[in-house]
Structure 1
Amino acid sequence: MSFPERILNFLGYIPDYLFTKAMFDGEVESVIREKVPDFNMMDTIADSAFYFVNSEEHIDYAQPITHKIVYMGGLGKVQSVPLEQNYVDIFSSAKRGVILFSFGSVVQSNQMSPEIKKAFLDAFAEFPDINFVWKYEKDEDQVAKDYKNVFTGKWLPQNEFLDHPRLLAFISHAGMNSIIEAASKGVPMICMPVFADQKRNAKLLERRGMAVLLDKTDLSKENIAKPMKSEERVVKYAEFAAEFGDTGTLQLQGKHLTFVQLHSLDVIFTLMVLLMAVIALMFWAVRKMIRWAKVKVKNNVANGDLKKKIR
């Protein structure tokens, strides 16, 4: 990261930590304390034998951790079953293949603005030799009725789609479970993070060369279609490391930092200088105001005495 980026990262850590702690620890603790009155989240984590993390160490950022932390990403994987005939037909009719478009169970596609829906649909229309299957929650909207290569469904067998050899890519909100499923099956992704941890998850994949990102605040037909051009598609499969050796994905980046950078001493120094400058400026302003007030009072008193003498 650049120096300004490290400053923003440093400043963002504390409010992010406090927000996460208040939002998640407080909610969880309030529920558990109904049965265990003296329950404390942080103490329980510290005293636990193991701490299971819903992530995948080969995707996540390399970080120094204790042996009690166990990565369990993919724990809920299930065996694929044969696709229903209507989905088989969609795969069979596609000249190049199929792209799955799903934002999971929380983010509802039908709640997108009409402009964003049209941007996606118009981008899909640019690739007539590819069929797009979109998890869309309201069939009655008939959102894709004018697009021959777009198919919708309230629910889609995501696991089976990801297992299909003719699936070209997965457009996702970058939820942790979705990215683990796609990565384990070697499916490249196009990620449009919406909230919570999704931006971090998407950045993980982008850093590994497993995904390209879409900015939800800057969606257009051109921006959506651009990542799908073959000359710009950056795809790596899970077998890459086994075939080509260490790619450095598990190397701690801290080894490349100086002592000052590693401990953010330059960031802390800069922030302290700025803070002291602000305090000094405020102190100077207060002193000026006090002096001005004293002079004002003194002048008023002098003017009052002068008026008395004149009388």
Structure 2
Amino acid sequence: MKFSIFILLILAELCSTYKVLVFNPAFGASHSNFLGKISDILIDAGHEVTMFIPVFVDGKKHLVGSKKVEKIVRLDQDPRVYQMHKEGATEELMRKKIWTMSSDISSMLGFVGNFSKSAAYLTEHMFQQTELLEQLRQEKFDLGITESLLLGAFALFDEIGIKSVINADSTLYMSGIKNALGEPAAIAYYPGLFSPVNDKMDFLGRIKNLFGYQFGMWFSTLKYDAEVAAFPKSYKGPREWKKQLDRVAFNFVNSNQYIDYASPTLPKTVFVGGMQVNTKKSGKATLSKEWDDVLGKQKTNVLVSFGSNAFSSDMPDKFKSSFLEVFASMPDTTFIWKYEEENATLADHLPNVKLTTWMPQNDILADDRLTLFITHGGLGSSVELAYQGKPAVVIPLMADQPRNAHMLTRHGGALQLDKELLEKPEEIRKAIQTVLTNPDYKKNAERLAKILEDQPQKPKDVVLKHCDFAVQFGALETLNSEGRHLNTFQYYSLDIALAFIAVLLIVLFVLHLIIKFVFRQLKRIFLSPKKKLD
């Protein structure tokens, strides 16, 4: 009897597992890590995950984002993209320019054209791999997961017969997918992805926010249209990018409602920010002896990291000198500095500075001995420090980082510093000392971490349950908003406003005529007798 029950349980477990294809282009660490974490959650739940990694950026071709995925299918970079990036020295140039270029959206204008062309080349390259596509088609995947960075991923899922698809953006949200789903942009009070202002916007702030949203739409439209043009003639699916995107079962965004600004959302939008963070309480954030010893040297420890795209080793020498001067002026503080040059010697004269090309950032942030985090404000780092309850000095460099910075500072646990001040060591020191000496920063950071710890729905559970639901039911038509079919005038009821104004003008004009007619009649009645008497 017991044996029969055991067999039934095993069969039930086998029946509940499903096959997932994760389209994870080698583009950037934050993107790969996000999709890799979703893959890990599914694998831990017993599901079979295959990761398809088309190389988009050659310098990132090693990225996987997961240590648990065993079945990986790679596609080498398209030769045209490789040549284009090589001739433009795109990666190297971006790493150096990021420190001095404007942090607002205008700095990305020159990037859009090349990105769109590269995306089109990648899409065309993928569809040319007929043998590979057939192999993937034979796998009969139950679910496809990717992010809206590349439209070609959705067309590929359609081509190989995947019916249930989830979009999973490693950013807060992208304008293209938001527009395709018919979700309100709320530009009057909800800061867009590239917004330099918070939710308390004056007239100029709303203009900046509108410009940022429209830039996102322009970027998405230009890129997606280029990819659609690259679809082969044999492809039978929709050739309108909005129809490709609005078929998703759910739209995962790397946002957390308890960190981000309040926003109007649709049922398809699911907040999963924080699913990738292991806190000390979970027991999974542990340090090796090397890092344990580093944090044990002094009572005050500061972590300095500018992420995976901005290298400290590429910052201007005057910026490096500023940081070194600050470190030297605080000998009782240990500074762990992510510096991407092997065997660098620029800080050899400072015993309180630990240079490293890599460190277990999340695990260090989780340690009680870490006092302060100096960060660029990338979304991954922002979510990690929020969950770990660490005060921070945020120095945004570009793209969405200014928005992440003011998103964090409003909680009271972080201070924002303009990168233009990095050549002034006194300003860096002032920012550090302000956060270290004011207990409110630590108190507010720990309060936010407590909120996230006690939030009603854990992001990991949210991911798994929505994936299960998507496999079972697919994309429910009842979750779709009719707003996605409306034009701008209809969506914002501008047509109603114009009709009301037109009716009002007609009424006023008729009233004008009536009053004019009455006045004439009165004039005729009262003035005519007088003329007769004369």
TM-score by length of 2: 0.42
Q: Does 1:183 align with 2:383?
A: no
Q: Does 1:172 align with 2:375?
A: yes
Contact 1:162/1:182 (<8 A) preserved: yes
Aligned to 2:354: 151
Q: Deviations over 1:244-287 (max 9, x none)?
A: xxxxxxxxxxxxxxxxxxx9xxxxxxxxxxxxxxxxxxxxxxxx
Given candidates 259, 262, 277, the residue that maps to 1:77 is: 277
Cα separation, partners in 2 of 1:232 and 1:238, compared to 1, 3 Å: closer
Residue identity matched to 1:23: F
Displacement of 1:111 after TM fit? 0.7
Cα separation, partners in 2 of 1:109 and 1:34, compared to 1, 3 Å: farther
Residue identity matched to 1:65: T
Contact 1:139/1:152 (<8 A) preserved: no
Displacement of 1:195 after TM fit? 0.4
Cα separation, partners in 2 of 1:119 and 1:12, compared to 1, 3 Å: same
Given candidates 105, 126, 133, the residue that maps to 2:308 is: 105
Structure 1: gaps of 5 or more residues: 244-262, 264-311
* Worse-superposed segment, 221-230 or 172-181: 221-230
Q: Deviations over 1:201-225 (max 9, x none)?
A: 0001111112111110122211111
Residue identity matched to 2:324: L
Q: Does 1:22 align with 2:182?
A: no
Aligned to 1:196: 399
Percent of paired sites with the same residue? 32
**Structure 2 CA distance, aligned partners of 1:101 and 1:108?**
11
Cα separation, partners in 2 of 1:34 and 1:83, compared to 1, 3 Å: farther
Aligned to 1:38: 238
Aligned to 2:428: 224
Displacement of 1:41 after TM fit? 4.1
**Structure 1 CA distance, aligned partners of 2:211 and 2:340?**
35
Aligned to 1:290: none
Residue identity matched to 1:227: A
Which residues of 2 match residues 29-68 of structure 1 at below 5 A? 30=226, 34=231, 38-68=238-268
Displacement of 1:20 after TM fit? 1.6
**Structure 2 CA distance, aligned partners of 1:25 and 1:238?**
41
Displacement of 1:21 after TM fit? 2.4
Aligned to 1:93: 297
Contact 2:339/2:355 (<8 A) preserved: yes
Contact 1:80/1:163 (<8 A) preserved: no
Q: Deviations over 1:147-199 (max 9, x none)?
A: 12111111111121111110111111100111101111111111100000000
Displacement of 1:134 after TM fit? 0.6
Cα separation, partners in 2 of 1:141 and 1:240, compared to 1, 3 Å: closer
Cα separation, partners in 2 of 1:40 and 1:198, compared to 1, 3 Å: farther
Given candidates 342, 356, 365, the residue that maps to 1:162 is: 365
Aligned to 1:207: 410
SS in 1 for 2:419: coil
SS in 1 for 2:405: helix
- Alignment size in residue pairs: 242
**Structure 1 CA distance, aligned partners of 2:285 and 2:209?**
43
Displacement of 1:242 after TM fit? 6.4
**Structure 2 CA distance, aligned partners of 1:76 and 1:20?**
26
Contact 2:300/2:334 (<8 A) preserved: yes
Contact 2:393/2:431 (<8 A) preserved: yes
**Structure 1 CA distance, aligned partners of 2:322 and 2:239?**
49
Cα separation, partners in 2 of 1:157 and 1:40, compared to 1, 3 Å: farther
**Structure 2 CA distance, aligned partners of 1:179 and 1:202?**
8
SS in 1 for 2:296: helix
Aligned to 1:13: 209
Cα separation, partners in 2 of 1:195 and 1:240, compared to 1, 3 Å: closer
**Structure 2 CA distance, aligned partners of 1:57 and 1:135?**
30
Aligned to 1:116: 319
Contact 2:326/2:425 (<8 A) preserved: yes
Q: Does 1:237 align with 2:445?
A: yes
User: What RMSD in Å do the two structures reach over aligned CA positions?
Assistant: 2.9
Cα separation, partners in 2 of 1:183 and 1:29, compared to 1, 3 Å: farther
SS in 2 for 1:64: coil
Residue identity matched to 1:16: G
**Structure 2 CA distance, aligned partners of 1:65 and 1:49?**
15
**Structure 1 CA distance, aligned partners of 2:224 and 2:358?**
29
Cα separation, partners in 2 of 1:41 and 1:164, compared to 1, 3 Å: farther
Displacement of 1:125 after TM fit? 2.1
Residue identity matched to 2:274: G
**Structure 1 CA distance, aligned partners of 2:393 and 2:274?**
20
Displacement of 1:140 after TM fit? 3.9
Residue identity matched to 2:260: D
* Worse-superposed segment, 231-240 or 206-215: 231-240
**Structure 1 CA distance, aligned partners of 2:450 and 2:284?**
25
Contact 2:395/2:417 (<8 A) preserved: yes
**Structure 1 CA distance, aligned partners of 2:296 and 2:319?**
29
